[in-house]
Amino acid sequence: MRKHRLVGFLPGILLLFSACAPVGPHYRRPEAPLPPAYKGETPPGSDWKTASPSDELPKGRWWEIFNDRQLNELEGQIDVSNENLKAATAQLDQARAALRANRAGFMPVVSGGGTISETRQSDNRPIGHANYTDYSLPFTFSYEADVFGRVRHSIEQSRVLVQADAADLETLRLSLHGELALDYLQLRGLDTEKRLLDSTVQAYDKALELTQNRFDGGLASQADVAQARTQVEATRAQALDVTVQRAALEQAVGTLVGKPATEFTIAPLPFDAEPPSVPAGVPSDLLERRPDIAAAERRIAAANEQIGLARTAFFPTFALTAPFGMESGSLLSWLAGPSAFAAIGPSTVLTLFDSGRRHAISQQSQAAYEQASANYQQTVLQAFQDVETNLAALRVLEQEAEIQDGAVRSAEQSLDLAMNRYKGGLTNYLSVITAQSIALSNQRTAIQILSRRMTASVLLVKALGGGWKASSLPAN
Q: What is the pLDDT of residues 398-417, one digit of tens each?
A: 999 999 999 999 999 999 99
Q: Is beta strand 340-342 parallel, antiparallel or unpaired with respect to 131-145?
A: unpaired
For residue 17, being part of any structural domain is answered with: no
pLDDT at 321 over 70: yes
Q: Give the three-class secondary structure for 148.
A: coil
- Amino acid, res. 406: G
Q: Would residue 309 count as lying in a domain?
A: yes
- Residue 4's pLDDT is 46
What's the total number of domains in the chain?
1
Report if residue 341 sits inside a domain: no
- The SS3 call for residue 138 is strand
State the pLDDT at residue 25. 82
Question: For 46-59, what is the mean pLDDT?
Answer: 46
- Look at residue 6 in the predicted model and tell me its pLDDT: 42
CB within 8 Å of 36: residues ≥ 6 apart: 283
Percent of the chain with pLDDT over 70: 89
First to last CA, the chain: 44
d(C-alpha 187, C-alpha 177), whole Å: 15
Three-state DSSP at 34 gives coil
Q: How many residues are present in the chain? A: 476
* CA 451 – CA 109 distance, rounded (Å): 63
The predicted-structure confidence for 137-175, as pLDDT tens digits, reads as follows: 898 888 888 888 888 888 888 899 999 999 999 999 999
Instruction: Report how far apart, in Å, the C-alpha atoms of 86 and of each of 59, 129, 193, 445 are.
Output: 21, 65, 36, 40
Q: Is the pLDDT of residue 45 over 60?
A: no
pLDDT of residue 57 exceeding 70, the answer is no
Q: Is the pLDDT of residue 242 over 90?
A: yes
Q: For the chain, what percentages of helix, strand and coil (3-state, to nearest 5) are there?
A: 65, 10, 25
In a domain, 115, yes or no: no
Task: Outline where DSSP puts E strands in 251-352.
Answer: 317-328, 340-342, 345-349
pLDDT in the model for residue 11 = 53
Assigned domain for 336 exists? no
7: pLDDT strictly greater than 70: no
Q: How far apart are CA 173 and CA 179, in angstroms?
A: 10
Supply the range of the domain harboring residue 246: 22-105+147-315+358-472
Query: Considering the domain boundaries, does residue 183 fall inside one?
Result: yes
Instruction: Classify residue 473 by its DSSP letter.
Output: S
pLDDT of residue 50: 43
CA distances from 3 to 7, 42, 127, 319, 324 (A): 6, 79, 36, 18, 18
CB 474 within 8 A of CB 162: yes
Give the residue-averaged pLDDT of 404-432.
Answer: 91
Q: What is the C-alpha separation between 137 and 326, in angstroms, rounded? A: 5
Q: What is the pLDDT of residues 335-382, one digit of tens each?
A: 887 888 888 888 888 888 888 898 999 999 999 999 999 999 999 999
- Res. 59 pLDDT band, cuts 50 70 90: low
- pLDDT given at position 151: 86
Confidence of residue 38 (pLDDT cuts 50, 70, 90): confident
3-state secondary structure of 409: helix
Per-residue pLDDT averaged across 384-389, rounded? 93
d(CA 466, CA 178): 9
DSSP label at residue 36:
S
- What is the arithmetic mean of pLDDT over 62-67? 90
The answer to whether residue 284 is domain-embedded is yes
CATH of the domain at 408: 1.20.1600.10
Which tens digits make up the pLDDT trace of 294-305?
A: 999 999 999 999
Cα dihedral value 459, 463, 464, 468, nearest 10: 100
Find the helix or strand (DSSP H, E) in which 112 lies. strand 109-112
| 367 domain-assigned | yes
What's the mean per-residue pLDDT of the chain? 85
Bridge partners of residue 341, in order along the sequence: 325
pLDDT band, residue 109 (cuts 50/70/90): confident
79 vs 49: which has the higher pLDDT: 79
Q: Which of 468, 280, 307 is nearest to 386 (CA)?
A: 280
